[in-house]
Structure formats: C-alpha cells, structure tokens
Amino acid sequence: MPVEERRELLLESAFRVIARRGVDGATTRAICAEAGVTLSTFHYVFATRDELLAALVEHGTEKELSAVGAALGEGTQDILPGRAGVLAILQTALSAYIDGVQADPDREQAMISLNQYARQTDGLSDLGAQMYLRYYEAIAGALDGVATVTGTGWDRPTTELAPLILAATDGITLSYLNIRDRTVCDLIADATVTNLSTHIVDAPENAGKGPTT
C-alpha cells in the first residue's frame, strides 16, 4: 500500500477512534487496531502520536473547508440576483452544512475533541487557533463571492461577518451532537440568515462602508 494510502487509512481510523473514545483513548495501538495495521506500519508513516494528531487537525480542517465550499457551491447553482439571491444561497448553504453534520456526526465530535486537546497540549496549542483563523478566512472569502454573483454587497468587511457564521455552525454542531434534533439546527440557521440579512446592501460600491445614519 502506498504511503499516502496508509496515511489516509490511519487518519480516518483515528477520527473514528477519537469519536468513540476521545483523544486520550486514541492510543497508537487502538488506532492501528481500527485500521487493521501493525505498529510498525504506524511508525513508518508517523514518527509519534502527536505528529498524527497534528496531521489529523490539518486533515479535518481541509475536510471542513471543502464541505463549506461544497455547501456554498450548491447554493449558487440557481442564482437569483439581489438580496433574494443572497438569502437563498445562505439558507441553502447552512442547510447543506446541517446535512453534513447529520451524515457524519462522529467526524464533528472528533474535531471538537481534537481542538480541545490541542489547546491544552504543549506543541499543539496553536493548532486550534490556526484552524479557526482558516475558517474565518474561508468564510469571509465565500461571503465576498456571494456578493459578487448576486450583484450585492455587505455593510461591513466580511472578516467581521465570518465569525457570526462560524458561531452559528459551532452552535448547530454542538446542538445536534447533544440532542440530535434537526428542527433546532434549522432554527439556528434561520436566525443566522435573518441576522445576516440586515448587513446586505443593494449596490456593491456601498460594501464595507458601514450602515448609513
């Protein structure tokens, strides 16, 4: 098996183990048992367990960013111009995000556990901050793209709006993991779209200037 395939196998196995047992329970032996490989195979790919965990944060972040891109892409397939188009894209994207959480809650649980573990571990403490900064950057870029395709703008920089969406997706994830109720997740999404609707401006030349008085 090529090294990259072994790496992917170990990372996906680690996600499943962490989702069930937490990071502390994700020993190299447990991960190898889940993957069906030997310890020597593990150490051929990763020098240490912490190296795997750092790679896992990176791997998970890339998966999450891909999911965000796919969700927004789904929302822009049938584009309406103006404010209606923005709202439709946001609603579709958040609904697609909820679909993803429902489809693979174990991955979301593993990412939360990894983030908490990284913050408390020497040598990994910066990974959580880097993960969120990348999310903010990606979401801000996506909001700029939404404004472009709909011929609208925002009343402030999208870097200030991105944390609102990430707070909503975090809330959706935690709510679903705890009570598994799609209705509550949809309510959070609806409230988020309503909030963001107050920041849409009709002409892109007004974007980022702040609300008028």
Could you give the CA distance from residue 195 to residue 1 in angstroms, rounded to a whole number? 49
Could you give the CA distance from residue 31 to residue 47 in angstroms, rounded to a whole number? 14
User: Average of pLDDT values for 85-108?
Assistant: 91
Could you give the CA distance from residue 53 to residue 30 in angstroms, rounded to a whole number? 14
Long-range contacts of 161-170 (CB under 8 A, 24+ apart): 161/196, 161/199, 162/135, 162/136, 162/137, 163/136, 164/192, 164/195, 164/196, 165/139, 165/192, 165/196, 166/132, 166/135, 166/136, 166/139, 168/94, 168/192, 169/94, 169/97
pLDDT digits 0-9 by tens, 119-129: 888 878 888 88
Burial 37-60 (b: 16+ CB within 10 A, else e): beeebbeebbeebeebbbbbbebb
Question: Is the pLDDT confidence value at 78 over 70?
Answer: no
Question: Is the pLDDT confidence value at 83 over 70?
Answer: yes
pLDDT digits 0-9 by tens, 151-177: 999 999 999 999 999 999 999 999 999
Residue type at 196 in one-letter notation: L
pLDDT class of 213 with cuts at 50, 70, 90: very low
User: Average of pLDDT values for 5-25?
Assistant: 93
In the chain, what are the domains?
1-47 (1.10.10.60), 57-206 (1.10.357)
pLDDT class of 73 with cuts at 50, 70, 90: low
User: Average of pLDDT values for 20-35?
Assistant: 95
Higher pLDDT residue, 72 or 190? 190
The whole-model pTM stands at 0.84
Where do the H-state alpha helices sit in the chain? 3-21, 28-35, 39-45, 49-75, 82-103, 105-119, 125-150, 158-179, 182-197
Of 95, 93, 71, which Cα lies nearest the Cα of 183? 95
Residue 200 three-state SS: strand
Q: 85: how many CB neighbours lie within 10 A of its CB? A: 21
